[in-house]
Copies of this chain bind each other. A is one copy, B any other.
Amino acid sequence: MTSDRRMQILDAAASLISERGFTSTSVDDVIKGAKLSGKSHFYHYFKSKEELGYEVLNRQFERFAERGLAILREPMIDPLERLGLFIDAVVALQAESGGRRGSPFGNLAAELADAHEGFRIRIEAVFERWASQIRSLLWEARPQLYDDVDAVRLSRFIIATLEGAVLMTRLKRDISVLEGIAVDLKRFIGTHVRDGIAAHHARDVE
């Protein structure tokens, strides 16, 4: 049953949850947002609020995979350039909501990591898939990188910085926070590249 109604519910829920958090989003809110007839209508499609949350998380990740992570796998573009484009895409995605939404994963992680093991595991899996995409890219780019580049550590650094930046952006309601951090992040990645650009030169290269 991947009906329209189901999608409608998931969209409404995703929007509400990313704005107000999972706990603060009630089933009634979702019903109102998706214009359902009543509670029984909702529970026809989802067996519990928890299950709804899991599916919203899945859907958010799929969307992120399509619109963000896909860039990391573009075969016709140089891997490191792809990484830069991906970071730009994260900024653009964030700019869409005026920086008010935050990362759907980071928000849930902060809200539920300790309160709800089911979510914690699923969110961890999301970040792991994200990290593995970056690791593959770094592996692909390995001829251009210094030999001692630790792909696991660098991929974690990139993700943590982006998540932290999105959080700060949401808090300050100012997308330029993320933009600035994205620039620095790209520069940091540049310092791992073997073309011999020293750090203080890299700084000038956008």
Contact = CB atoms under 8 A, between A and B. Distances in A.
B156 A181 contact: yes
Given A19-B114, A124-B172, 12 more contacts: A20-B115, A102-B110, A102-B114, A106-B164, A109-B110, A110-B111, A150-B180, A157-B181, A157-B184, A164-B164, A164-B165, A188-B188
Pairs A-B, 6 closest by C-beta atoms: A164-B164, A191-B199, A110-B110, A160-B164, A198-B198, A163-B164
A153 interface: yes
Interface in A167-190: 167-168, 170-172, 177, 180-181, 183-185, 187-188, 190
Q: How many copies does the complex hold?
A: 2
A154 interface: yes
B171 A156 contact: no
Contacts of A163: 164, 167-168
Interface string A184-206: 11011011101011111011100
Chain A at the B interface: SS class: helix
B111 A111 contact: yes
11 contacts: A21-B23, A23-B24, A110-B111, A146-B203, A153-B180, A156-B168, A160-B181, A191-B200, A194-B200, A196-B198, A198-B199
